Amino acid sequence: MIAKLSKVVLLAGLISTPVLAETRYAYVPYDAGEDHDARVVTEKGEKEGLVAKVKGGNDPALSPDGTQLLITLFLKEGRKLAIVDLATGEQRQLPIEGREVYGGSWSPDGDLIAFHHLGAKHWKVGVIKPDGTGFRLLGDGLKADEDLYLAGWNLKTGEPMAHDMKALVQLKLDGAVAWSKGLQDLFGQPYAASDCNFWVLPDGKTVVGNFVVMEDEIKDIQGPSNCLMKADLDLEAGKPERISPKGLHVGQPVVSLDGKSVVFTGFTGDDIKKGEGDVVDMTMRVYRLKLEDNSIETLFPNAWFPSVSR
């Protein structure tokens, strides 16, 4: 279905050029009352660099050229994926069968979209072309009765990364498995949560991902936090390295296409305020970590579910 999306607010002058000079970011405001519209902005932020607001823009993912936004729709029949053209405001729901389809991510060249897919019982990784053709599930040869979760992309090969919470898997676009490596062997950590992300950098040798760290609790979140780690795919090349500081929770990491930085949702103990009873009031921020020196800066306050274009 193609429909004019009247609930997309577009700003004239910023969206007429197909090939964009500036990097664009997308995120969802955190703790903004009824306002959960996705924002598409430049690095200047919402006040000076707002490109668009997308109503109901859950799990926003920018195309590499920054001209389209992939979102998750919450419908009666379950979660589904749709693409919003930021130049026209048109929305297209992707024709994907499945009980739940969400959390889409664009391939580095923009020719494919990968996503979480729930069939009859188990989670798998699916791909489809942006025009709605070519849908298929990946992971031929893996156990059909086990869950597999989309994790990110190999930025060198352009193939999706996935994990089953115990092993990291690179999926080939023909459905086969390129390789599988245990998370314990790679990172020295036995397992990952289902929503942890892993990206192979453009060198094809280094993988970056976020992990549950059992011994690194942040006060008042009632459980362990996640940290960002870097490891070499060659298990003999060296030890894994923690690259985010202790006390900073790292969620939803996305690596830039040039492999130079990681954008993620984060919070520290200072962002948490204890309310009445078990209520916790907190603030989320979108950070950027530069992989050259692991320096961190805040990009957008009161925001989460980040995405970045080229």
Distances in Å between the Cα of 56 and the Cα atoms of 8, 210, 232, 288, 293 are 10, 27, 38, 25, 36
Q: How would you list the strands of the sheet with 224-232, edge to edge?
A: 177-182, 167-171, 159-163, 149-154, 198-200, 206-217, 224-232, 241-242
pTM here is 0.89
Distance CA 205, CA 14 (A): 37
Q: Which pLDDT value is given to residue 240?
A: 93
Q: Which pLDDT value is given to residue 2?
A: 36
- Tell me which residue range forms the domain holding 280: 2-308
Residue 4 has pLDDT above 90, yes or no: no
Contact 284, 258 (CB under 8 A): no
Query: Which comes out higher in pLDDT, residue 143 or 12?
Result: 143
φ, ψ at 309 (rounded to 5°): -80, -140
For 157-189, the pLDDT digits (tens) are 999 999 999 999 999 999 999 999 999 999 987
Contact 256, 263 (CB under 8 A): yes
* Domain CATH number, residue 250: 2.120.10.30
Q: Which pLDDT value is given to residue 243?
A: 96
Contact 216, 223 (CB under 8 A): no
User: How many domains does the chain divide into?
Assistant: 1
Quick one: average pLDDT of 274-287?
Answer: 76
Contact 160, 153 (CB under 8 A): yes
Are β-strands 159-163 and 149-154 bridged in parallel, bridged antiparallel, or unpaired?
antiparallel
Query: Which comes out higher in pLDDT, residue 274 or 75?
Result: 75
